[in-house]
Amino acid sequence: MFNLKAVENRHLGLDYRFKFKCHKGISCFTQCCSNIDIMLTPYDILRLKKRLGMTSYEFLDKYAVIKEDEKSSHPYAYLKMDSTPERRCPFVVVPDGCTLYPDRPVSCRYYPVGQGTLKKKDDQDNIVHEEFYFFVKEPHCKGFLEPDLWTIASWKDDQEITLYDGMNREWKQLLMRRNLPNTPALNPKKKAQFLMASYDLDTFKKYVFESKFLQVFDVPDAELEELKNSEEALMKLGFKYLKFILGLEKTLQVRDSALKEKKKE
């Protein structure tokens, strides 16, 4: 998470211009990788666990801390920093920097830019999600003294952020869900399902193919084949599943047989 005191110029567009470059030659190199809370997205964990040759469960157990959001009851995964007073990223070494740089989390890619999403209604009263950007300028960072000129659009291209945003977009919409006033928080089962479908793809795959999931939901055969071979496709199914069980959208088709069985109960 960014230091909110350092946030400048909120609600920027893709054409916003700034100067910045982070490299080993500046005195503050790797300082931004300590004493910070980095919330991980599903695609972050997918990339990192592949890079490390781990299952998603192993990654979560070793490198993540789960924190529950008070407003939504959603369990979110944060990168587990080391136990030193500086709370350094476990993947950063001094003076070389990030050891997993090609697969670094999207929040690291965005810095010094931040990205947010607004939910509002369009002219036809439909709910739409509008993405916006803000600029983070922390006093310790010397990267702003470098001459390299960017727009937010060119920065996103250079840092390969567009791929991450595309993979995480539907999940980020879930982040705007809030518990309704005077209603109970999510029950433990739904919290566990949120955690599994968001982050633990290996367990979610077993849930899809080894439980009654496919007896309840009608998933086309062509899509099933893709789900067996593509973790990216499986991740996106997880987002649809969460939207469905949280009552946000009817993103999955329930089989008639499952509906009839439900009526008998």
For 154-174, the pLDDT digits (tens) are: 999 999 999 999 999 999 989
CA angle 26, 28, 87 (to 5 degrees): 150
Q: Is residue 19 part of a domain?
A: yes
Dump pLDDT digits (tens) for 23-73: 999 999 988 898 889 999 999 999 999 999 999 999 999 999 999 999 999
Q: Verify that 45 and 156 share a domain, yes or no.
A: yes
Q: Verify that 117 and 221 share a domain, yes or no.
A: no
Residue 3: per-residue pLDDT:
45
Residue 9: per-residue pLDDT:
56
Q: Verify that 101 and 146 share a domain, yes or no.
A: yes
Residue 128: per-residue pLDDT:
73
Q: Verify that 131 and 208 share a domain, yes or no.
A: no
Domain end position, chosen among 119, 145, 174: 174
Q: Verify that 126 and 196 share a domain, yes or no.
A: no
Q: Verify that 205 and 254 share a domain, yes or no.
A: yes
Q: Are 75 and 68 in contact (CB under 8 A)?
A: yes
Residue 29: per-residue pLDDT:
92
Residue 2: per-residue pLDDT:
45
Q: Verify that 114 and 50 share a domain, yes or no.
A: yes
Q: Verify that 136 and 193 share a domain, yes or no.
A: no
Q: Quote the number of domains for the chain.
A: 2
Q: Is residue 12 part of a domain?
A: yes
Q: Verify that 217 and 108 share a domain, yes or no.
A: no
Q: Is residue 180 part of a domain?
A: no
Q: Verify that 31 and 115 share a domain, yes or no.
A: yes
Residues (pLDDT < 70) of the chain are 1-10, 262-265
Domain end position, chosen among 135, 152, 174: 174
Residue 77: per-residue pLDDT:
98
Q: Is residue 128 part of a domain?
A: yes
Q: Verify that 235 and 122 share a domain, yes or no.
A: no
Domain end position, chosen among 120, 140, 174: 174
CA angle 223, 225, 229 (to 5 degrees): 115
Q: Is residue 136 part of a domain?
A: yes
List the structure tokens of 227: 């789900």
Residues 112, 4: Cα–Cα separation, whole Å? 12
Q: Is residue 183 part of a domain?
A: no
Range of the domain at 13: 4-174
Q: Is residue 217 part of a domain?
A: yes
Residue 4: per-residue pLDDT:
42
Q: Is residue 207 part of a domain?
A: yes
Q: Verify that 209 and 255 share a domain, yes or no.
A: yes
